[in-house]
Amino acid sequence: MVDGKSGPTLGLEAIERLRLVVGGSTLGREQEVAAEEDALRVYDRAVAMLAARGRAARDLERQLVRKGEPPELARKAVERLTAQAFLDDAAYARSIELSKSSGAGLAKRRLEQELGRKGVDRAVVADAIDEVFEEEEVDEAAAAEALARKRNQSLGTADAPARRRRLYAFLARRGYSPDVIATAVSKVIKGDPADFERDDAAVD
């Protein structure tokens, strides 16, 4: 209660910052109170978005602005969440890499691209990728071969050249290097890796 009636909703930090007391007056401080109320609203929205799914700090800030929140308040909300350890780009990057490398079979290059688009710092991405790949003992060559074998089973009666092209395109979209792809495809469809050429126009 402020001024004898229901007042704005403010967080404890804001109340302490403004030195408000229950039942006290906010006369002459309406703008300060309104600003704190807006900041809390944006913060609460950021918390709700973060609770729905993990996000990188920069990605969360962009999403808040996209939903119509003031850029400055979005930035402050993200800074507050980061200071409270609710937002951690390094932990987020590790969780994405663990999921994508083991589940979707994405290569390091593709993971770097995806996290880069979400605004995660390159150095953070590189460290997280190295950590996950080392801990999980991820072997890109073996992963590419396993993906190629699984995919090959769904290509039906397509002839060998067509299957090679489709497997190449399939692995390329997941970020594997030409050398890794050529070796994997050669093991699935017997042949010399040097004979395989990229066909970026191949239809998956």
78-136 per-position pLDDT tens digit: 999 999 989 999 888 888 877 776 656 788 888 888 888 888 888 888 888 888 788 77
DSSP state of 195: G
Contacts of 139 (CB under 8 A, 6+ apart): none
Q: Is the dihedral of CA 97, 140, 104, 121 positive or negative?
A: positive
End-to-end CA distance of the chain: 63
Report the 10 Å Cβ neighbour count for 114: 18
Of 118, 63, 64, nearest to 93 (Cα)?
Answer: 118
Measured CA to CA in angstroms, residue 126 lies from 10, 27, 97, 144, 175 at distances of 40, 53, 11, 20, 15
Q: Is the pLDDT of residue 28 over 80?
A: no
Q: 10 is written with which tokens?
A: 């403010």
Of 16-30, 37-51, 98-112, the range with the highest mean pLDDT is: 37-51
Percentage of residues in the chain having pLDDT higher than 90: 31
- Type of residue found at 10: L
CA 108 to chain centre: 14
Lowest-pLDDT range, 61-65, 124-128, 193-197?
193-197
Report the 10 Å Cβ neighbour count for 22: 8
Q: How confident is the model at residue 11 (pLDDT cuts 50, 70, 90)?
A: low
DSSP state of 103: I
Supply the pLDDT for residue 2: 44
Which one has a higher pLDDT value, 7 or 36? 36
pTM of the model: 0.53
